Amino acid sequence: MKKKIIAGLLVLILAGTFSLAAAGAGEAADDGTKTIAFVQGLSTDEFYISMKRGVQEMCDELGYKLIVDGPTKWDYTMQTPIVETMIARKPDLMIIAPVHSDSMIAPLQKVVNAGIPVITVDTNINEEIYLCNITSDNLQGGQAAADYLAEMLGETGKVAIMNTNVGVTTTEARAKGFKDELAAKYPNMQIVSDEYCEDEAEKAASIIQAVHLKHPDLAGVFGVNLYASVGVANGLDSKGVNIPIFSYDASPAVIEALAEGIIDATVVQKPMEIGATAVKMASYYFNGEEDKITNVMVENVIATKANMDDPEVSKWFYVSD
């Protein structure tokens, strides 16, 4: 508790912009214990917090030391210095969720040049300097949402996408997956609106109200994240409209909205499994079993109010600490 307060004060002094180095984390050990560095894409996001748990549990199991850090914003100018600090701490391997597919190539080349192999998780870079990539692919998540929504609607009807910000790769990939899948497989379904709400639920609410006014036969909506889907739900609910609303991820806020029937379904990724798999791959590298190292695509699951109490589904819900 005291530590937390001191850390809090420090952040205040630094005006909150700079991320804290993981307090008290040990440096690379000399006793032969392998040390893994894990760099998150966004340290405050439940998805990456859950991934960290998966990494931690597998490290504990295999006897590795773990050092973790990540930027508080999805921003390569904030992730790069963290990567550089990590090089100085001399880990034996780095697991990273790069926040930009091009801009993070150079910093990660430095890591590789320092003799530290890299495994990318969730996102990736456009140059194969990494051992392998473990992901659950946002594109595929968007496709899954499209398939499930099509099934709910009998493969027909008008749907809308509520996106967040222009140029954010993860959410754009979700929307693209959704759009491509509908276009390819469901000729009777039509996307009538594809708007950006700037991560503001109140803006999403007003936008979807306008969309519904124009298209009263709107049959379903895919919101690419919490704010988009909750905003859409709020906007439609206040007009007394009840149509399927799809969300993405399984943070506690999304799960609460799902439990209360505000949203109808959500694409659940498996960050814990992604993390654990990455550490598994690291162990193959440490043990010289390099033939076992491979890219892995972790399947998403879809949670609905009906299946959310099933432990096979709920075990994938994200944790917040």
Partner 1 sequence: MTGKTDTNIKQTFANIVTDYWIVLVFLGIYLVFVILEPLCLSLPFWGSTFNYMAEILILGVGVMFVVITAGIDLSIGPVEGAVGVAAGLTIRSLLPVVGNGWAIIAGSAVGLLLGLLIGFLNGIVITKLKLAPFIATLGMSVILTGTGYILNNGLEVVGLPRVMGKIGNFTIMGFMGFTTIIALFATVVFGVLLKQTRFGIHTYAYGSNAESAKRAGIDVDKHIIRVYMISSGMAALSGVLLVFRFNTGSPLAGANVTLYAIAACVIGGTSVMGGRGRMIGTFIGALIIAILVTGLVMLGVQTYWQQVSTGLIIIFAVYADQIRQKKALK
Residues in contact with partner 1, total (CB under 8 A)?
49
Contact between 244 and partner 1 by CB under 8 A: the answer reads no
| Of residues 153-192, those binding partner 1 (CB under 8 A) | 166, 192
Contact between 69 and partner 1 by CB under 8 A: the answer reads no
Amino acid occupying residue 184? A
- Of 47 and 285, which has the nearer Cβ to partner 1? 47
C-beta separation of 275 from 54 below 8 A: yes
| Residue 120: φ, ψ to 5° | -95, 145
Contact between 305 and partner 1 by CB under 8 A: the answer reads no
Taking CB under 8 A as the criterion, the residue among 34, 35, 38, 45 binding partner 1 is 45
Closest by CA to 268, choosing from 313, 310, 227, 312, is 313
Contact between 195 and partner 1 by CB under 8 A: the answer reads yes
Contact between 234 and partner 1 by CB under 8 A: the answer reads yes
Taking CB under 8 A as the criterion, the residue among 220, 235, 244, 271 binding partner 1 is 235
Taking CB under 8 A as the criterion, the residue among 213, 292, 307, 315 binding partner 1 is 213
Q: What is the C-alpha to C-alpha distance for residues 36 and 34, in angstroms, rounded to an integer?
A: 7
Strand 35-39 and strand 93-96: the pairing is parallel
Both structure tokens of 11 = 């952040």
Contact between 256 and partner 1 by CB under 8 A: the answer reads yes
Contact between 75 and partner 1 by CB under 8 A: the answer reads no
C-beta separation of 119 from 128 below 8 A: no
**Within 13 Å of residue 174, how many CA atoms lie on the same side as its CB?**
28
Q: What is the C-alpha to C-alpha distance for residues 251 and 197, in angstroms, rounded to an integer?
A: 19
Contact between 241 and partner 1 by CB under 8 A: the answer reads no
Q: What is the largest CA-CA distance in the chain?
A: 67
Binding residues for partner 1, rule: CB under 8 A, are 8, 11-12, 14-17, 43-46, 72, 166, 192-203, 205-207, 209-211, 213-214, 226-227, 230-231, 234-235, 237-239, 251-253, 256, 260, 320-321
